[in-house]
Amino acid sequence: MKPRNTKEESLKIPMDILLDVLTIIVKENVRHEVTDVLESRGIAKVSLYLNNDLLKHQRVLNNIQNIIEEYNEYRYSDNEEPSWRD
């Protein structure tokens, strides 16, 4: 049972940047759980449990989402699609 005022955010994180993202999560003391690892696709699924009352948690989420977006822009050109699916 998740605490009140908490939302769960699920992220698909490429293995290339997983250590960077987990470092941020642990450093900022965000509750999290690695829910799945898709080795063939090079992805880890991570659930974050964010407190709706803390602006810090929203900033951490935004930071992680920006890192993932920048990685995808760097890794894939405009003509290519990511090799993983939902």
Name all domains of the chain by residue range, CATH numbers in brackets.
6-75 (3.30.1370)
Output the six-digit token pair for 62: 């935004």
Looking at residue 85, its pLDDT comes to 58
Per-residue confidence (pLDDT) for residue 71, from 0 to 100: 93
Q: For the segment 31-55, what is each residue's pLDDT rounded down to a tens digit?
A: 999 999 999 999 999 999 999 888 9
Model's pTM, two decimal places? 0.79
pLDDT given at position 52: 85
pLDDT at 86: 52
Q: In what side-by-side order are the strands of the sheet with 6-14?
A: 6-14, 43-51, 31-38
Low-confidence ranges of the chain (pLDDT < 50): none
Q: What is the pLDDT of residue 81?
A: 60
